[in-house]
Amino acid sequence: MANIVEEIKKPIADEMKLFEEKFYQSMQSNVPLLDRVTRFIVTTKGKQMRPMFVFLCAKLVGNVNEKTFRGASMIELIHTATLVHDDVVDESFKRRNFFSINALWKNKIAVLVGDYLLSKSVLLSTDNKDFDLLAVISRTIREMSEGELLQLEKARKLDITEEVYYEIIRQKTATLIAACCEVGVLSNNADEILAKKMQDFGTFTGMAFQIKDDLFDYLSSNVIGKPVGIDIKEKKMTLPLIHALSIANESDRKYYFNIIKRHNHNSKKVKELIGYVKESGGLDYAITVMKDFQDKAKNLLNDFPESEAKKSLMLMLDYVIERKF
């Protein structure tokens, strides 16, 4: 899998190296505490898939320029801010096998750092008069917040239908990948039609990405480092479970709903529910839907002439649904 990521990065290897420097610069402040935290963020960064999408989409239609770098930094600032805030909300003390910011500096500092990163993202666009990029990131921040709140609201009643699930993951996850792709082409002065097309490409890719994430809840934990059944324990209704319950008979549905509501911390009961989801075809159904989103994204890419960037984006689409973590 690491080899695939290196292969994807090939057309943008130089840009990714330069981006690390520019991203760190975009976070800097005059407050020593903030600088300590942002230095920690840079040293514990993940695969940086989102900037990769920005650069590859820019190269799909033109060249990477200073506006592309700003757009990639804006996206990564938003993404980092939401991760910092998520760790506070979820009371999580680990992130990518490192301590989270709230674990090291407590909640108050973590929330303020998240706020600071969001403000830096907005300032990066206004200082450079990138108002088209500002419109994209403002919409993205709003949608991500709405998606989180919609999921919290529905989790209380456990009344998430397939349609509501798609809306939640579109807003929570896909909207940020859609923003990456839109920002990439906008940095090369794309018109509205092309910007919308790449936004759709990112949305379909993000939907496939999140469904893959949800499938991990039913797979062996020693591969991915995520405990099996964690979503069920948190009463998160994901696609395999929603589908399995939608085709269950009335007595089975009541029985398994009761496990989610009242026995979600009973490992034996959770294991039983996971077994039921697998047997009733919940995983197979989710895989089919995930591949359908992947196909929709690939069809949009097919309209572009062959290039190294297009080849990498096609590889990225395969990586999204074949990754092991």
pLDDT at 146: 92
CATH label of the domain that carries residue 31: 1.10.600.10
Q: Find the DSSP H helices in the chain.
A: 2-9, 13-27, 32-43, 49-61, 66-89, 101-127, 131-157, 162-169, 175-186, 192-215, 221-224, 230-233, 239-246, 250-262, 267-279, 282-301, 308-322
C-alpha to C-alpha distance for 134 and 198, rounded to whole angstroms = 17
- What's the domain range around 260? 2-322
C-alpha to C-alpha distance for 45 and 216, rounded to whole angstroms = 22
- The CA-based angle 184-79-64, given to 5 degrees, is 20
C-alpha to C-alpha distance for 67 and 139, rounded to whole angstroms = 19
Find the mean pLDDT for residues 151-156. 77
Q: Give me the phi and psi of 161, to 5 degrees please.
A: -85, 170
C-alpha to C-alpha distance for 261 and 324, rounded to whole angstroms = 30
CA proximity to 135, closest of 146, 145, 125: 125
Rounded to the nearest angstrom, the gap between the alpha carbon of residue 325 and the centroid of all alpha carbons in its chain is: 13
pLDDT at 223: 45
pTM over 0.85: yes
Write out the two tokens for 153: 């609201």
Do 233 and 264 form a contact (C-beta atoms < 8 A)? yes
Find the mean pLDDT for residues 139-155. 87
Count the domains in the chain: 1
Write out the two tokens for 11: 């057309």
Give the least confident one: 119-128, 133-142, 230-239, 264-273.
230-239
Which one has a higher pLDDT value, 260 or 68?
A: 68
pLDDT digits (tens, 9 = 90+) for 165-179: 999 999 999 999 999
